Amino acid sequence: MNSGSSGYSNHGTLIGCVINGITYGDTTIASINKIITEVPDKYSLSQNYPNPFNPTTNIRFEIVKNSFVLIKIYNIVGKEVNSLVNEKLNAGSYSVEWNASQFPSGVYFYQLRAGDFTETKKMMLIK
């Protein structure tokens, strides 16, 4: 945890693993940054920035209470291609970066699920 005066904290999340030499899932490390410690008044998922992007983009979201949070990335046909967040987070405002350098250009969707809240937005990767 970074406890500097910036108000940010971050930690890495292992999204996949290797068992007996076989890779399961994505082994990307996603850095989740807590932006504001104040509790927001509503759940929200912001438009990623930049958009279009190459190869990284930031996704900002807010959760109003401690919740199990999922942020998943889907391709244009609805297949899950990456999972950025899959853990319990405290109420607050967060930002997570997606590095899409291993993915082809195209339209992608990102979805936030936290408690009973679900929202999906569209983004475009241009290489």
Return the higher-pLDDT residue of 98 and 8: 98
For residues 83 and 51, give the distance between their C-alpha atoms in angstroms, rounded to a whole number: 19
- The residue with tokens 């250009």 is 105
For residue 25, what is the domain's CATH number?
2.60.40.2550
61 domain-assigned: yes
Could you list the residue range(s) of the whole structural domain that residue 112 is in? 9-125
pLDDT digits (tens, 9 = 90+) for 33-54: 888 778 899 999 999 999 999 9
92 domain-assigned: yes
- The count of domains in the chain is 1
For residues 125 and 108, give the distance between their C-alpha atoms in angstroms, rounded to a whole number: 7
The 8-class DSSP code of residue 40 comes to P
Residue 125: Cβ within 10 Å count = 20
4 domain-assigned: no
How confident is the model at residue 10, as a pLDDT? 43
